[in-house]
Amino acid sequence: MNTRCAVAHPLAVATLAAALVASGCNKSLPTSEELSPTSPTSADTGAGGWRMIVVSGPGQFSVPSPALAGSASYQSELASIRTAQANLSVAQRQSIEYWSGGGVLRWNQILRELVARYNLPPAPRDDDSYVFPDANNPFADPAFPFANPPYAARAYSYVALAQFEALKVAWAYKLQYDRPAPHAVDGGIRALMPATGVSAYPSEDAVLSGVSTELLRLLFPAAVEEITLRAGEERQAALVSGRAAASDIAAGLALGRAVAAAFVARAGSDGMGAAVGNAAQWQAFANAAAARGEVPWQSLESPPRPPMLPNFGQVRAWLMTPADVARERPGPPPSTASAEMQQDLAEVKDTVDHLSREQLAIALYWNDGAGTYSPPGHWNDIAAEYVRDARFSEVRAARVFALLNIAMHDAAVGCWDAKYAYFNPRPSQLDRSIRTSIGLPNFPSYTSGHSTFSAAAAAVLSYLFPGGASSFAAMKDEAGISRLYGGIHYRADIEAGKEHGARIGAYTVSFARQDGADQ
């Protein structure tokens, strides 16, 4: 009897549960930014003349002249758009709405998602060793890449600058060929995306799809399928929205890919391949610090993990020469044997032991650790709102992300140069009772990467959006001090990092003042 009761009952409750599950409310949250379709306030038709960094100029790439408006081939392209518009699927409408938010903003958002997805350190193997991600075997465990802060900074900068330069080339040819959009030449075609004020050939949406795909498949090869699908959707949206004809898109895609090739070639020889270093070199850092009478940095992970990208300081910067990087390197941190260091250490200890809820919130807000879009991604997130509100043309939106991200890439190079020059221990290494409320980064302490990134970003964004300058400055300071609250940095790391980042950001600001966009 007892048994029968016990058996019968769970079935009854399972039925009840099923009913409850079926009636469960929809709790979905938006997974992408809300970007309402808007036309730019200026078309920036002269952007083809803006100064470039990697590309020598529009003439480096040839874009064949388009077929005449009256040609049979073009008329047939227009007819196919009319047919497509008469049979729009729900998915196509959603895609048009999505990409109407702006191709540059959307790709930036996609990139932030890719960084967050791949920003995970390799797990130790059973024998306590670590295997480095392999670009030629990206689906393995560990997956390639480990999109840590330097990797992410470089990735954001390659994608953003390649997009910017490709769009500048596109703008030059748009001005030259001046072919109107399909909706402007054919009364039977509706404009389902906001007007851009620039001509249609080559299509900027296709340029973006092509250049972004090529860079992202290099940087995130395991995501190639998703990237390719997104890029295809972008081109399809441009076509069926009446913004671009098939030949506009074909020319844009070819141009985007061609410009990407120049950046892919640079990426292959910028020093990233050697950034991991080797065991002998890691030991040499420790030996050099010890020889200077300093306590060398040690990994506090278990098992100990090799330091993150020790040679990233030698990766090629965008606007700084190796001599610039060396010249801007901050002076040494307080000696680990000094009273000043003891004082700094005591401040960290006191902070983590008496952390207020508000301080914890600040530490968590700016944590940007493993599994997130990283500190540079956080600043892209911040910039995206300003770009959205500014109603920029695609090429000017691309300029914001390009300038922001080349500055943060150069900040990463400069910061990593300093970190491995000094090989300074984290607070928790010198005082094992210091416990952190965010993850402890596995690389030397001095200077604070977050402070360096943030100061460089704030400098660039303050130039581009002067109205936000005080806000950027406050965010930079909060991002810096968050590392003290988190227990992972001394105050000296933060102060030196901010000064260093501001100096590095100035290189980009100086470029921006003369690139032709603001004259």
Partner 1 sequence: MLSRKALLPFALASLSCAVLCAQTLEDGMMMPRKALCTGFLYTHDGWDRYWEGTLERGNGNIGTITTESVTWFGNYGITDRLNVIAMVPYVWTEASQGVLHSMSGFQDLTLAAKFRLLETPFTSQGSLSAIVVGSLGAPTSDYTPDFYPLSIGSASKRASTRTTLHFQSKQGFFVNGSAAYTWRGKVTLDRPAYFTDGQLYLTDQVAMPDVFDFTVSAGYLKGGLQVPITFSQQSTLGGGDIRRQDMPFVSNRMNFSRLEAVVMYALPKPKRVSLRLAASQVLSGRNVGQSTAFTAGLLYTFAF
Residues binding partner 1 (CB under 8 A): 1-3, 5-6, 9-10, 12-14, 16-17, 20-21, 24-25, 27-33, 109, 112-113, 116-117, 120-124, 141-143, 300-303, 352, 355, 357, 360-362, 364-367, 370-373, 378, 381, 428, 434-437, 439-440, 487
b (16+ CB within 10 A) / e for 349-363? bebbeebeeebbebb
**Of 241 and 359, which has the nearer Cβ to partner 1?**
359
CB of 383 to partner 1, least distance (A): 13
CB of 263 to partner 1, least distance (A): 24
CB of 65 to partner 1, least distance (A): 41
Phi, psi of 331 (to 5 degrees): -65, 170
Q: How many CB atoms lie within 10 A of CB 497?
A: 31
**Of 2 and 87, which has the nearer Cβ to partner 1?**
2
Look at the block and give the residue holding tokens 């399928």: 225
Q: What is the dihedral of CA 349, 351, 352, 355, to 10 degrees?
A: 160
CB of 380 to partner 1, least distance (A): 10
CB of 5 to partner 1, least distance (A): 5
Interatomic CA distance for residues 514 and 507, integer angstroms: 11
What end-to-end distance do the CA atoms of the chain give, in Å?
90
Polymer length of the chain: 519
**Of 101 and 202, which has the nearer Cβ to partner 1?**
101
CB-based burial label for 431 (10 Å; 0-12, 13-18, 19+): middle
**Of 288 and 295, which has the nearer Cβ to partner 1?**
295
Contact 112, 380 (CB under 8 A): yes
Q: What is the dihedral of CA 258, 262, 267, 270, to 10 degrees?
A: 180
CB of 180 to partner 1, least distance (A): 36
CB of 461 to partner 1, least distance (A): 16
Give the H or E element holding residue 149. helix 149-177
